[in-house]
Every structure is written in structure tokens, then in C-alpha cells.
Structure 1
Amino acid sequence: MPSNEQRRQAAKRKLERQLERRAEQAKRRRMITMGTTIVVVIAAVVGVFYLTRTGGESAAQPQAPTELALPPVRPTPLPDPVSCQYRPDGEASKPVQPPANGEVSSKGTVQATIDTSQGAIPLTLDRALAPCTVNSFISLAKQGFYNQTDCHRIGTEGLQMLQCGDPTGQGSGGPGYAFDDETFPELQYGRGYLAMANSGPNTNGSQFFMVFGDAPLSPDYTVFGTISEEGLKVIDTIARAGHDGAFEPSPGGGHPNLKVTFNKVEVQA
């Protein structure tokens, strides 16, 4: 049998081994803690670097597509001419005469330029897409209806577009007449499209929107032309400045932070 001295020595060695294990465990815990701290610090430094390089607030802005969508084309051409009807609809936000009812050509394009406080936005109006809409837009432009009006809404997430054409600047104004939609089921919207805003089927008036990015819409909004790359650069700048969220959550977006005023809309027709 082991003596008392032998038992004491065995207990002492056991205690020493326990103390060594505890010291080793404590050392490992300190190493893990230090490693985690280093990782967190590195991540924070990388985050600050990223925000610094990308501009912080602008980095949080959703990115819009930069490639122009293919120009819209009707799968089945319209007859030429077509009959257009412009019926009374409420009070005009600004004195203006509706276009004459009757036959309108569905052939050819018309060049137009919106001279805005942020730069020129050249447009190509396409009668083959929407002859009655193009006819109305030209009439309003020539009567000065759009002069000195502000674009009242921009969307930068989901539906990325700039909406204009209301002299009241509130989104509820119009020319005092309405006309029918000129849509087709295959219509898909993309960067560079010019389309009519509406409040339901066949309620087109003076308001329109210019798509600079994504536009996941049903084909219920008449497309009547396209925007030049030069014009899209102007709209991109306006979009990067953001909006005030006045129209959130529905219909979305808000007043542009960078104010956009139409000085004049010139039509080369």
C-alpha cells in the first residue's frame, strides 16, 4: 500500500496538472478573444474605407441599369390614320385648348427637347407607338402648357422614373381633357422609355414619366417615345440627389431633392 508521503506526492502532481490545464485553457480563451477583436477591428476599418471611397450616403442608393432598353415596337402596326378623341375631363390646371378630334397619322417620329433647370432632355416622339398621345403632347408643348412647371415626383427604388407634366406640382393637375390608352399586352418598360401617367384606364392627360432604370409595371401606361442618352444623364443626376419621401409608401418616391423646372418644351415638327 502507498504510504502517506506517496499519497501526498500523487495529490500534488494531480493538482499541478489541473493548474496547468486551467492555465492552458485560459491562454486559449485570451487568444480567441484577441482574434475576434482583431477581426472586428479589421471589418470596421474595411467598412469605413468602403464608405469613404463610395461616398457613404450615395453608396446606399439603389443602382439603376445603365444600358438603354431596346426601343419599343408594336407587334402589330396601327392603321394609318387613326381616329383620336379628346373628351372634357375636369378643370384645366392652366388655360389650354384640347387638340381637335379626328384622324391623326400613325407614321413617323418627331424630335422634341425639354429645356429644364438641370439641363436639356431631348426626346423622340413615335407616332407608330401612340399617335393620339404624340398629337396631344405636341399640342400642349406648342401652347406653352408645360412651361414653368416642376417635376413633382421621382422614384429611385422599384419603379425608377421621373414624373412631370402637372402645372400644380401636386400630382393631381391636368389639361382639362382626357383620351384613351394606346397600349399593347407585350409592352415592357425599360431605361429610356417615355410614358403617360394615368389614374386608371383611359385617363391620359398631360402627366408623363421618364424611365431611367427599372420599371416593373403592368402594360397599362402608354409609351409614346424615348429619351436620348444625353437626357438620361440629366435624369441620372437628379436621381442621385434622392427625394423627400413625400409619396411613400404609395405610390412611392417623393419630390426630387434637386428641383426640376421645365423652362420650355420645344417641338421640331
Structure 2
Amino acid sequence: MRATKVTTIVVGTAATCSGLIWTAASLTGSADTDSKPPVACSYTPSDGAKSVVIPAYDASAAARPYTAKLVTNKGTITIEALTDKAPCTTNSFSFLARKGFYVGSKCHRLTTQQIFVLECGDPKGARKGDPGYFFADENLTGAVYPAGTVAMSKVIPGKNGSRFFISYADPQLRMPSAWTPFGRVVSGLSVLKEIAKGGTQNGLSDGRPKKDLVIKSVTVQQAANR
């Protein structure tokens, strides 16, 4: 324990998750076209981004373990960051958390069949928002998404920004290793399950949650130096 100071098999139906369409033909590991880790961590301004602040990156500092506490209107979710496996991603998440990027945002997407995730991280709630920069995938080799997994969401393969999803239950089908896992929920999974019980606004298996989950704050707690 570390002390802390104060983060294709063919199926008959199609499902959608995290900006990519899950079709019967794509449910194999062969879909992992962007599975190689980046040569070095870098953050690239998005097209049209103006005066964007890019996270600084120091390899030794980025690898330092942390937990993140997401305080929501329904309870607190604590995430352990996988800084050793996805340092570029966890460095970006910590950067955005510290600048208050997620404060006031609503988790905007819920899936309730076959793939059980809640997607968050877009202050505009439009599934296309980003922090003004993007970065490449990490930690995809053999990636799986059981309950408690925190992983990046994206619209364009290989481009990650601020959106992420949390698996609130084990998937019922084999998800391709296409989304960067960067954390695991260590407490508060019940908060997500309660939101899932309410279903979606449109009554379908993929849509906005009927119950709002609003992120009130995200606090990063780094491990103490030994």
C-alpha cells in the first residue's frame, strides 16, 4: 500500500460505445489498428484550437502514482490512476482535473445492453468536446474492460482528449482493445450503478442518462515520496 498526501465473434445485434460503432464484423482483436503505444508522449493542438494550454510532460513525474476523487451530485467515485501503464493519459487527466476542466460537467452517455459504460468528460455534453488538444493511445495490448475500468473515449481512432468512460458492469461481449485503459475504480462504483438503474432519457440502450450525474470536483491525490 502506498501512503497518500491528501487518483470476431459474430453477434446478432450491434451496440455503440464511446464514439465508435460496435458492429458484428468489428468485435475482434483485429480491429486494434492503433494499438501500438506512442514513441513519446506528446500533446497536439486540435484543429482550430486557439491559445490552448498544453500539459507539460516529465516522464518521472508523470509515472508517480495518484488517485483521483470525483465528487458528484450522487456521491464520490475514487479512481486509481494507472500511471505506470498510461503515463501520457494519466498526466493529461491530472492536468485537466487540476485546472477544473471537469467541474460542472454531466456524464452524457449511458449504455445498458451488452456493454455497460457511463461516458463523461465533455463539458459541452455533445460527445465531441475536447480540451483543445489530443494525444495518442496507450496501454492497448490485451486491454479489457471489466467493471471498474476507466478508459479514454474518442470519435477519431488514435486521438484522445478529455472524454472517458467507466465500466459499471462486466461487458457481455468481447470488446476490442481499442480504448486506452488508464484507471480503475477503487470505491464508488455503486454511484454509477444507481445512475444505470434509471436508464436513458430516450428509453433505448444507448443515450443520455435519465438521472443526471454531475461532476462537482475532481481532486488529484499523489502518492507520498518514499
Same fold (TM over 0.5): yes
Q: Which amino acid aligns with 2:77?
A: I
Q: CA deviation at 1:127?
A: 0.8
Taking the aligned partners of 1:175 and 1:266, their CA distance within structure 2 comes to: 18
Q: CA deviation at 1:109?
A: 2.2
Taking the aligned partners of 1:212 and 1:176, their CA distance within structure 2 comes to: 28
**Sequence identity percentage:** 36
**1:267 aligns to what?**
220
**2:77 aligns to what?**
121
**1:221 aligns to what?**
179
**2:34 aligns to what?**
none
Taking the aligned partners of 1:91 and 1:170, their CA distance within structure 2 comes to: 18
Structure with the larger RCO, 1 or 2 (CA within 8 Å, 6+ apart) = 2
Aligned equivalent of 1:193, options 135, 149, 158: 149
Structure of larger gyration radius: 1
Q: Secondary structure at the match of 2:207?
A: coil
The C-alpha deviation readout for 1:216-250, integer Å capped at 9, x for no partner, is 3210100001002x31111010101111238x6xx
**2:44 aligns to what?**
87
Q: Which amino acid aligns with 2:211?
A: L
Q: Which runs of 5+ in 2 are unaligned?
A: 1-38
Contact 2:104/2:214, CA 8 A, preserved across alignment:
yes
Rate the CA distance shift 1:266–1:101 in 2: closer, same or farther, 3 A.
closer
The C-alpha deviation readout for 1:161-203, integer Å capped at 9, x for no partner, is 1100001011111101000000333112101100000123221
Contact 1:85/1:102, CA 8 A, preserved across alignment:
no
In the alignment, structure 1 residue 258 sits paired with structure 2 residue 211: yes
Q: Secondary structure at the match of 2:123?
A: coil
In the alignment, structure 1 residue 133 sits paired with structure 2 residue 89: yes
TM-score (norm 1): 0.63
Q: Secondary structure at the match of 2:206?
A: coil
Q: CA deviation at 1:103?
A: 3.6
Q: Which amino acid aligns with 1:236?
A: K
More helix by share: 1
Q: Which runs of 5+ in 1 are unaligned?
A: 1-81
TM-score (norm 2): 0.74
Taking the aligned partners of 2:211 and 2:139, their CA distance within structure 1 comes to: 32
